[in-house]
């Protein structure tokens, strides 16, 4: 009966037929990295740094848990199924009626993007292990395509026979899907290409890059149709409305640029955040709203009729961007290194990591409201000044290899000591 209410809501919620007002989808415990809209427009999937997916019906979430690290990409296969991937290297398929998932397989590095084949038989994943993963949704064995550089994005063309692949070496390559062979070096940008959108019917491909380059080029010749590069970098996200009439571009400085496809004029240029990037963009099914995700723990959606008057995604700096000189060094270390994943309250609040309240004297892997990796569950570690210092001195990838913790270190011993002193303020138990 757990999903009965969700299924009833699916039947009752009308499809997107008119433009919506500005709205937010709140509930994640970390930034939004990916957004997808269902084929019929009635549901939204959000992928978050908190390791979870949110399936939103009538703006109410059903949490889909299964990943062991931040989820970067999500896509609907059809109304009943979805796929996701992230920093745990895993590609998962979801049954949206039950909320259950299965692992299609793993890369050797984090996965940045997913593309579903036009016949909905395959999903292709773009990974920083310099490969594409080809995953059958009908039970066939998976295979990998060697690209030769970290892969940021991928798109199907020619009815699923061809893949356009954007890489960190600044190149867009064309691969034969069935054979997995390199067919063409389509273009070289010089700096890494982060995202691409392909409109085969109209004969163009749009791409955005690390250096802020944003161009629309011909699919036939790779010649530039329109250069819309601005002094904002990097370009991180793109999406095209379903009718092909509008292109949205999101960058690292928090702007969403909306382009009219008829003449590539700027329809709107939204300063969407006070500070921070736009990581994810998706048009509503009817093209009347643009959904966006960034550093905030919510997805924001603006009506294209007049997006300038709507609120910004992040009105003030997030804690981990805090530059307040009045904060102690220990607090600043916590804000920058810990606060995006951890709270200092009594619960873990859907964050990517457990609460750090009462950390001292606590055996690793024992906070009841958090799902740990097997590595942490089996670790014989008790958190105290010495173990916390070692964690940030060596880095989680060395000190607790195989845990969910992102790779990071605090190089200066003084900074580690100040962080430990700050964390001790929120613990009722002294070191053991």
Q: What is the predicted pLDDT for the residue at 16?
A: 40
> Considering the chain, what is the average pLDDT of its residues?
90
| Range in 25-34, 127-136, 200-209, 267-276 the model is least confident about | 267-276
Cα–Cα distance, 251 to 14 (Å, whole number): 32
For 15-32, what is the mean pLDDT? 78
Residue 4 reports pLDDT greater than 50: no
Sheet hosting strand 204-209, strand order edge to edge: 193-199, 204-209, 214-218, 224-227
Residue 319 reports pLDDT greater than 60: no
Q: What is the pTM of this model?
A: 0.83
Return the higher-pLDDT residue of 430 and 269: 269
Task: For 163-193, write each residue's pLDDT tens digit.
Answer: 999 999 999 999 999 999 999 999 999 999 9
Cα–Cα distance, 409 to 397 (Å, whole number): 10
Q: Which helix (H) or strand (E) holds 422?
A: helix 413-424
For 254-264, what is the mean pLDDT? 95
Residue 60 reports pLDDT greater than 90: yes
Which of these, 273, 338, 268, 276, lies nearest to 307 by C-alpha position? 268
Cis status, amide bond into 234, omega within 30 of 0: yes
Return the higher-pLDDT residue of 33 and 335: 33
Residue 197 reports pLDDT greater than 60: yes
Tokens matching residue 407:
């790779």
Tokens matching residue 374:
């097997």
Tally of CA atoms within 13 A in the half-sphere of 422 that contains its CB? 20
Reported confidence tier of residue 262, pLDDT bands at 50, 70, 90: very high
Task: For 365-408, write each residue's pLDDT tens digit.
Answer: 999 988 887 888 889 999 999 999 999 999 887 898 877 777 78
3-state SS, residue 275: coil
Reported confidence tier of residue 125, pLDDT bands at 50, 70, 90: very high
Q: What is the predicted pLDDT for the residue at 277?
A: 93
Q: What is the predicted pLDDT for the residue at 316?
A: 56
Reported confidence tier of residue 118, pLDDT bands at 50, 70, 90: very high
Q: Which residue has the tokens 């924001």?
A: 300
Give, in words, the CATH class of 319-424: mainly alpha
DSSP-assigned letter for residue 384: S
Q: What is the predicted pLDDT for the residue at 12?
A: 37
Cα–Cα distance, 218 to 289 (Å, whole number): 27
Virtual torsion, Cα 101, 9, 18, 73, nearest 10 deg: -10
DSSP calls for 337-370: HTTTT--SSSS-TT-SS---TT-TTPBTT--TTS
Q: Quick one: CA dihedral 232, 235, 237, 242, positive or negative?
A: positive
Q: At what angle do helices 385-394 and 413-424 cross, to 10 degrees?
A: 140
Residue 15 reports pLDDT greater than 70: no
Tokens matching residue 359:
């950390």
Reported confidence tier of residue 142, pLDDT bands at 50, 70, 90: very high
Sheet hosting strand 43-48, strand order edge to edge: 32-37, 43-48, 52-57, 60-65
Beta bridge partners of 16: none
| Range in 190-204, 235-249, 358-372, 394-408 the model is least confident about | 394-408
DSSP calls for 285-312: TTSSEEEEEESSSEEEEEETTSGGGSPP
Q: What is the predicted pLDDT for the residue at 375?
A: 84
Same fold, 4-16+25-309 and 319-424: no
Classify domain 4-16+25-309 by CATH architecture.
7 Propeller (2.130)
Q: What is the predicted pLDDT for the residue at 404?
A: 75
End-to-end CA distance of the chain: give it in Å, rounded: 46
3-state SS, residue 210: coil
Residue 325 reports pLDDT greater than 80: no
16, 284 contact by CB (below 8 A):
yes
31, 48 contact by CB (below 8 A):
yes
Q: What is the predicted pLDDT for the residue at 275?
A: 76
Residue 412 makes CB contacts below 8 A (sequence gap 6+) with none
355, 342 contact by CB (below 8 A):
yes
Q: Which helix (H) or strand (E) holds 396?
A: helix 396-399
In the chain, what are the domain boundaries?
Answer: 4-16+25-309, 319-424
């Amino acid at each position: 009966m757990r999903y009965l209410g969700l299924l009833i809501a699916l039947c009752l919620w009308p499809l997107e037929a008119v433009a919506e007002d500005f709205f937010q989808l709140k509930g994640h415990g970390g930034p939004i990295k990916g957004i997808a809209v269902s084929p019929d427009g009635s549901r939204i999937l959000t992928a978050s740094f908190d390791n979870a997916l949110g399936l939103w019906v009538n703006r109410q979430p059903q949490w889909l848990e299964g990943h062991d690290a931040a989820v970067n990409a999500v896509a609907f296969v059809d109304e009943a199924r979805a796929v996701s991937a992230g920093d745990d290297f895993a590609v998962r398929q979801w049954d949206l009626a039950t909320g259950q998932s299965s692992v299609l397989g793993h890369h050797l590095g984090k996965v940045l993007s997913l593309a579903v084949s036009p016949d909905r038989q395959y999903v292709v994943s773009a990974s920083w292990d310099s490969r594409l993963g080809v995953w059958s949704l009908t039970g066939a064995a998976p295979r990998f395509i060697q690209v030769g550089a970290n892969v940021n994005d991928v798109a199907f063309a020619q009815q699923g026979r061809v893949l356009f692949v954007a890489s960190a070496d600044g190149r867009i390559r064309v691969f034969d899907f069935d054979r997995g062979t390199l067919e063409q070096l389509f273009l070289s940008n010089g700096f890494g290409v982060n995202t691409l959108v392909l409109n085969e019917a109209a004969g163009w491909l749009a791409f955005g890059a690390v250096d802020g380059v944003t161009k629309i080029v011909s699919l036939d010749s790779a010649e530039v149709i329109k250069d819309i590069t601005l002094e904002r970098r990097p370009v991180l996200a793109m999406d095209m409305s379903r009718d092909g009439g509008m292109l949205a571009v999101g960058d690292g400085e928090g702007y969403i640029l909306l382009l009219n496809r008829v003449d590539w004029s700027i329809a709107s240029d939204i300063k969407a955040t006070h500070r921070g990037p736009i990581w994810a963009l998706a048009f509503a099914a009817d093209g009347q709203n643009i959904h966006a995700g960034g550093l905030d723990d919510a997805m924001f959606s603006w009506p294209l009729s007049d997006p300038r008057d709507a609120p910004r995604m992040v009105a003030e700096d997030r804690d981990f961007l805090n530059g307040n000189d009045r904060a102690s060094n220990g607090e600043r270390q916590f804000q920058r290194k810990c606060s995006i994943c951890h709270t200092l309250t009594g619960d873990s609040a859907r964050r990517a990591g457990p609460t750090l309240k009462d950390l001292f004297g606590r055996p690793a892997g024992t906070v009841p409201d958090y799902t740990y990796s097997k590595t942490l569950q089996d670790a014989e570690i008790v958190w105290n000044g010495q173990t916390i210092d070692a964690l940030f001195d060596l880095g989680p990838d060395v000190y607790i290899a195989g845990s969910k913790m992102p790779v990071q270190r605090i190089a200066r011993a003084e900074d580690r000591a100040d962080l430990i002193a700050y964390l001790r303020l929120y613990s009722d138990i002294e070191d053991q």
